[in-house]
């Protein structure tokens, strides 16, 4: 079969290892979305937690990115990525299964939920960093754009199904028992990863330099700070994630308490907004090809983000349309932007540095997520849920100021290598002591 004929078959049809990776990642995203509904509802309905405690729960899940994100990137570059992913999936499966077991034994508490959120967050840091660096090793460069679009698109579809199912599972089986769904999906992910045939080469001992961890961590930060493209996208990601997490943290409580919706309807609305992410993944490559990757990024990350201001207008009855419209546009913009930036990262950064570069960008980009979760909970407690929604959703389009004041505004496409000079600059080298760059995911 010719190469063109093979490509017409699509990655999922012709690439067994990618298909397994896709299935495992999709299953994990589905379970994470179920937990995104079930965990706050466990805290609210079973443990009678307040708005700030719900925010603290979300913050605990993301805090590990801020604490261990940088060294994990250097560790991942020293190890084969697939075993790291397998271990992370196994740990998460056991932890989530332990929540309903603890409830049956009478040991469920807010402290236990916080511990589970924190430890699964640690596992997620290892998994996501290894996964980002692992994907380019099983896909040819020409297939990476399609692979990123399929992974982000399926993740959004899984989010739609997971959020909707989360509300239904919570109503039918109880919020605590809904945690079994997350454990089961990590078991599926574990089995899929175990079935991948591609084996990475062992990291040479010469590359495992004793005492070099601090230097490698510092190198990752220098890579992030030294390149204008990476720096811009990372600062934007940090500001955007602060606002997004603030809004998402109080979303379930806002819909349940301020708007007065049932758990099933809350999950249904969250699922409906997730459909925007599927659309964003579908449109990303097409928009980038038509108008350029840089211009498409501005369209998705700023133009669609303006519709976030519809969300605080949500009310019972027909007023839920505001939530659906605003949420769909936000989800479409985020997912489409991530598809474009993931392709940029994988092409722009040398493979042997991808782990620590990913860690450098995610340390800053994801590091604001626990702060956003605390901010959302604190604003909700201090000013009321609707006012807090106005403040946090306004921050979503405001984050794009970093993009509008950067070189990205003056070009059609993002560069494909560090040697390409940016407007008004000379670019960076990716040589032996070089400073390649990547983007946040």
Q: What's the pLDDT score for residue 163?
A: 62
CB under 8 Å to 397, separation ≥6 — which residues? 302, 305, 306, 308, 309
Q: What's the pLDDT score for residue 432?
A: 28
The pair of structure tokens assigned to 31 is 């379970």
Q: What's the pLDDT score for residue 398?
A: 94
Q: What's the pLDDT score for residue 239?
A: 93
Q: What's the pLDDT score for residue 437?
A: 27
Q: What's the pLDDT score for residue 159?
A: 65
Q: What's the pLDDT score for residue 439?
A: 30
Q: What's the pLDDT score for residue 265?
A: 80
Q: What is the pLDDT of residues 305-326, one digit of tens each?
A: 999 999 999 988 888 899 999 9
- For 433, half-sphere exposure in the C-beta direction (CA atoms, 13 angstrom radius) is 1
Q: Give 10-residue mean pLDDT values along the chain (441 residues).
A: 46 79 82 75 75 78 80 77 89 90 86 89 86 77 72 68 66 73 86 84 55 64 78 90 88 85 76 79 86 92 94 89 92 88 77 68 77 86 91 94 89 77 41 28 48
Spatial distance between the Cα atoms of 329 and 327, rounded to a whole number of angstroms: 5
Q: What's the pLDDT score for residue 426?
A: 40
CB under 8 Å to 318, separation ≥6 — which residues? none
Domains of the chain: 9-197+214-410 (1.20.1250.20)
Q: What's the pLDDT score for residue 381?
A: 86
Q: DSSP code of 440?
A: -
Q: DSSP code of 384?
A: -
DSSP 61-82: HHHHHHHHHHHHHHHHHHS-HH
Spatial distance between the Cα atoms of 232 and 361, rounded to a whole number of angstroms: 11
Percent helix, strand, coil in the chain (nearest 5)? 80, 0, 20
Q: What's the pLDDT score for residue 198?
A: 79
Residue 332 Cα distances to 62, 157, 191, 239, angstroms? 22, 12, 30, 18
Question: What count of other Cβ atoms lies within 10 Å of the Cβ of residue 86?
Answer: 18
Q: What's the pLDDT score for residue 335?
A: 85
How many angstroms separate the first and last alpha carbons of the chain? 35
């Amino acid at each position: 079969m010719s190469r063109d004929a093979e490509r017409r078959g699509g990655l999922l049809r012709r690439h067994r290892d990618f298909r397994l990776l896709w299935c495992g990642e999709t299953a994990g995203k589905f379970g994470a979305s179920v937990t995104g509904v079930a965990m706050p509802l466990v805290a609210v309905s079973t443990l009678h937690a307040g708005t700030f405690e719900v925010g603290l729960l979300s913050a605990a899940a993301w805090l590990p990115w801020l604490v261990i994100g940088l060294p994990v990137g250097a560790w991942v570059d020293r190890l084969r990525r697939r075993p790291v992913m397998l271990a992370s999936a196994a740990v998460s499966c056991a932890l989530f299964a332990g929540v309903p077991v603890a409830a049956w034994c009478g040991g469920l508490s807010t402290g236990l939920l916080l511990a589970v959120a924190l430890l699964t967050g640690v596992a997620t840091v290892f998994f996501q960093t290894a996964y980002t660096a692992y994907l380019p090793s099983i896909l040819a460069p020409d297939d990476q754009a399609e692979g990123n679009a399929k992974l982000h698109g399926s993740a959004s579809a899984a989010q739609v199904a997971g959020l909707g199912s989360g509300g239904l599972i919570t109503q039918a089986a109880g919020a605590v028992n809904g945690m079994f769904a997350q454990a089961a999906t990590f078991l599926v992910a574990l089995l899929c990863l175990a079935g991948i045939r591609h084996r990475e080469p062992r990291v040479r001992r010469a590359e495992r330099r004793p005492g070099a961890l601090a230097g490698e961590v510092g190198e990752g930060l220098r890579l992030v700070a030294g390149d204008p493209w990476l720096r811009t996208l990372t600062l934007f990601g940090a500001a955007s994630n602060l606002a997004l997490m603030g809004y998402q943290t109080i979303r379930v409580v806002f819909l349940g308490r301020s708007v007065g919706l049932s758990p099933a309807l809350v999950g249904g609305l969250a699922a409906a907004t997730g459909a925007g992410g599927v659309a964003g993944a579908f449109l990303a490559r097409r928009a980038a090809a038509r108008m350029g990757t840089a211009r498409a990024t501005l369209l998705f990350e700023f133009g669609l983000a303006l519709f976030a201001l519809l969300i605080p207008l949500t009310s019972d009855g027909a007023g839920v349309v505001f939530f659906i419209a605003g949420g769909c546009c936000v989800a479409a913009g985020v997912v489409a932007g991530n598809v474009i930036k993931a392709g940029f990262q994988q092409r722009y950064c040398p493979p042997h540095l991808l782990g620590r570069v990913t860690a450098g960008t995610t340390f800053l980009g994801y590091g604001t997520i626990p702060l956003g979760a605390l901010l959302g909970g604190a604003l909700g407690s201090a000013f009321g849920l609707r006012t807090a929604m106005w403040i946090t959703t306004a921050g979503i389009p405001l984050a794009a100021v970093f993009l509008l004041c950067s070189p990205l505004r003056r070009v059609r496409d993002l560069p494909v290598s560090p040697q390409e000079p940016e407007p008004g600059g000379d670019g960076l080298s990716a040589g032996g002591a070089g400073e390649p760059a990547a983007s946040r995911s």
